[in-house]
Amino acid sequence: MGERAAKVGRTIQQALGELLARGAVKDPRLADPGLVSVTGVQVSPDLSQARVWVSIYADEDVRREALRGLERAAGFLRHEVGERMRSKRTPHLSFHLDDSMERGAHIDAVLREIDEDTKGRR
């Protein structure tokens, strides 16, 4: 990712984080301000698209609904981000679930289990 795209990505991440934290989206699926955390933004080289990575701290059903709520609010969020960016064009936002924390926790649990099995065999 180029320097300009990275800067735009950081701006989008900060703006979306603030908007979600203050409950700017009125969708009931996103009512809890601590539910969604923006973990990263990847902007295309031509600055037309932004993939927004989010962690949603809930069970699978709530995560799915919250992601739908974000997709539904994408136009509103794009407008609000555009106001903060003060640029001619604002990238189209698409939201994607970042499950890296869950995968990390699973790997940690597997490693812990292997360690316990190894200690039990000694």
pLDDT score for 105: 67
Average pLDDT score, the chain: 88
pLDDT score for 101: 65
Query: What number is the average pLDDT over the span 34-47?
Result: 93
pLDDT score for 102: 67
User: What long-range pairs does 83-90 form, CB within 8 A, spacing at least 24?
Assistant: 84/11, 84/15, 85/8, 85/11, 85/12, 85/15, 87/8, 89/47, 89/48
Q: What residues have CB less than 8 Å from 27, skipping those under 6 apart?
A: 69, 72, 73
Q: Is the pLDDT of residue 66 over 80?
A: yes
Total structural domains in the chain?
A: 1
pLDDT band at 122 (very low <50, low <70, confident <90, very high): low
Tell me the pLDDT tens digit for each residue of 68-112: 999 999 999 999 999 988 888 899 999 999 877 666 666 777 777
Cα–Cα–Cα angle for 11, 45, 51, rounded to 5 degrees: 55
Q: Is the pLDDT of residue 19 over 80?
A: yes
- Beta-carbon neighbour count of residue 8 at 10 Å? 22
pTM of the complete model = 0.80
Report the CATH number that the domain containing residue 112 is assigned in CATH: 3.30.300.20
Domain hosting 28: range is 3-120
CA distance 112 to 114: 5
Under DSSP, the state recorded for 91 is P
